[in-house]
Amino acid sequence: MIVWITGASSGIGEACALEYARQSSQSAPMCLVLTASSVERLQNVADRCRQAGAEVRVVACDLKDAEQVATLTERVWDEFDRVDIAFLNAGISQRTTIEDTSMDMVRQIMEVNYFAPVAIAKDLLSRMVAIGGGHIAVTTSIAGLFGFPLRCAYSSSKHALYGFFETLQAENYDRGIRVTIVCPGRVNTPISLRALDKGGKAHGVMDPGQAGGLSAEKAAKQIIRAIRRGKREVYVGKTELMMVYIKRWFPALCAWIGRHISAV
């Protein structure tokens, strides 16, 4: 089975790569294709996956660069003539108010979080249909279900993913295409360290909420189980996931909490 993971050099992507590698066996061999911008970090993850028993290929790409993204799927597909599971997980966050968020920052976040996974999914679609189907998973966020302070572009990009990938499955379910929307709450990953701060520099701080979040390893087990079972959507996190249901049933309360919640 060929499993392609973007954003595989750290956090949820790294944990999922290692969990898939551990599940590889002689009876069910696994080949992992790992993508991120940092070749050095990717190679480190790849080496650990190989030690766990998986075959691994590294295909580096800067997802901010639309020209690189335009040829990425072809590069991966040419290697194996198939992809069984694509987990489009790469993403970047922010820690800025709307007033402090430049349009350049909005475009950068949308490029990585929305346009890159959309372009990859579009390029995969006809190829997967031609071989009888495939599974595409994408990482959104509970911030894609309601607005959240200091996340205007991040939240917007995650909202947009719901529209595209729900449509993708609606149009292609009968053609063998399955979609799993992965919706994390707070997971202990480096995303806050690399989030964009005022002026576009790295935030460089591990948010307390992030530090106290679900471990990436536990998140990976839940995500892979959901993909294996063909779930349409999976929520991953701790008590913060209650906000999903508060938004659904008590939207005014959700708005009040959003005005008072700590954004870090």
Instruction: State the catalytic residues.
Output: 154
The mean predicted confidence, pLDDT, of the chain is 94
Averaged pLDDT, 102-113: 97
* Residue 27 reports pLDDT greater than 70: no
Tell which residue, 7, 19, 51, 76, has the closest CA to residue 228: 19
φ/ψ (deg, to 5) at 227: -65, -45
Give alpha helix (H) positions in the chain. 11-23, 39-52, 66-80, 103-110, 116-130, 152-172, 191-194, 208-211, 216-228, 242-249, 251-260
Decide if 235 contacts 185 (C-beta within 8 A): yes
Could you give the angle at the alpha carbon of 10 between the alpha carbons of 76 and 36, nearest 5°?
Answer: 30
Tell me the residue type at 62. Answer: D
* Residue 4 reports pLDDT greater than 90: yes
Separation CA 49–CA 57 (nearest Å)? 10
Averaged pLDDT, 113-140: 98
pLDDT of res. 25: 74
* Residue 79 reports pLDDT greater than 80: yes
Residues in CB range of 216: below 8 A, 6 or more apart: 11, 12, 14, 15, 187, 188, 189
Q: Which residue shows structure tokens 């599940």?
A: 23
Separation CA 21–CA 15 (nearest Å)? 10
φ/ψ (deg, to 5) at 59: -125, 95
Which of 14-28, 42-56, 214-228, 243-257 is predicted with the least confidence, judged by mean pLDDT?
14-28
Separation CA 32–CA 181 (nearest Å)? 20
Averaged pLDDT, 108-125: 98
* Residue 137 reports pLDDT greater than 70: yes
Decide if 41 contacts 218 (C-beta within 8 A): no
Local structure of residue 196 (DSSP, 8 states): B
What is the pLDDT confidence band of residue 208, given thresholds at 50, 70 and 90? Answer: confident
Give tens-digit pLDDT for 210-247: 889 999 999 999 999 999 999 999 999 999 999 999 99
Separation CA 13–CA 91 (nearest Å)? 10
Q: Is 65 helix (H, G, I), strand (E, B) or coil?
A: coil
Decide if 140 contacts 160 (C-beta within 8 A): no
What is the pLDDT confidence band of residue 264, given thresholds at 50, 70 and 90? Answer: low
pLDDT of res. 263: 64
